[in-house]
Amino acid sequence: MNKYKTNIYTSVFFIIFGIAVWIAVPYCIRFSDTYSMRNELLTSYFMPRVLVVILVFNSMINLLINLIHYIRASKNGMKMPQYAGIHWNKEKRALVFAGIMLVYTVILEYAGFIISSALCCSALLAYVRDKKVIHYAVAFIFIVLMYFIFTRVLYVKLP
């Protein structure tokens, strides 16, 4: 399968996924869980839907770009770039990061946002062999800052 077709299929998948998430948000986030404060725009639906709009918009642009390249390459009879495949040795770091994120999602409900995020960031920094204490401190301060932004500004309840 060539690179353009792969990108086209991926873009279509993310457009469909984004539309499904847009539809699912009201069913997954109860409106009574919001800190509305007489502002119906900034509810718990706001942030997920903003991210969905960004995802769908970027996927549509990616789809258009790859469709144009695919059509031009087909018309001109150009040889299309082939899919290179996966080199597992090069992807080891990404797989470890994905594993840490998976563990993070499991412990998030039990330990809460701040503790599980601090553990996740510490694990990621330890994996890349970062020994500077300031990096761990900045990560923890950023986590606390994000907690207050999401709970007090964006009105999203976090575990």
**Same-domain status, 66 and 26:** yes
Expressed as residue numbers, the domain containing 146 is 86-159
Which one of 39, 60, 84 terminates a domain? 84
Q: What's 87's DSSP letter? A: -
Sequence-separated contacts (24+) of 81-89 with Cβ below 8 Å: 81/2, 81/3, 81/4, 82/2, 82/3, 83/1, 83/2, 83/3, 83/6
Q: pTM of the entire structure?
A: 0.55
What pLDDT digit, counting tens, does each position of 8-41 carry?
999 999 999 999 999 988 777 766 545 555 556 6
> Which of 28-42, 49-63, 82-96, 130-144 has the weakest average pLDDT?
28-42
Could you report the per-residue pLDDT of 100-136, keeping only the tens digit for each?
Answer: 999 999 999 899 999 999 999 999 999 999 999 999 9
Residues 119 and 133 in one domain: yes
Q: Are residues 90 and 156 in the same domain?
A: yes
Q: Does residue 102 sit in the same domain as residue 146?
A: yes
How many domains, in total, are found in the chain? 2
Read off the tokens for 130. Answer: 């970062």
As beta bridge partners, residue 82 has 2
Q: Are residues 38 and 101 in the same domain?
A: no
Residues 72, 113: one domain?
A: no
